[in-house]
Amino acid sequence: MKSTFTVNKKQYEVALEKGERGEDDEFHPFSATVTGQEGGAVRGVCQITDRALELASDKAAGGTNAEDLLAAACGKSIASELVLRKLKPDFSFVVDYRWL
């Protein structure tokens, strides 16, 4: 899954890959690679809540692709961080239903 977004007139891309949710994991982990930042690609994790997955699925029933919605939600979450500071390697953001 991929999504592009713009922060301060600079374009970024996030590529997501679904990981396995462990028994002790509170959220669904998606490995994320963000490109567009000076210094090269930055890798981390977007942790998607159950409610966000449900909402994406509900919206997908209306004809939108759930994966595209989730990728865009992760992009919005990452963009909010990039407004403040550069991403650090091994970042971890919780993405809940509000980003959808």
pTM (2 d.p.): 0.89
Over the stretch 22-40, which tens digit does the pLDDT of each residue have?
Answer: 899 899 999 999 999 887 8
Instruction: Write down the domain spans for the chain.
Output: 2-99
Angle, in degrees to the nearest 10, between helices 50-60 and 66-84: 130
Over the stretch 15-26, which tens digit does the pLDDT of each residue have?
Answer: 999 999 989 989
- Nearest-angstrom CA–CA distance, 37 and 100: 24
The token pair at 35 is: 């490109």
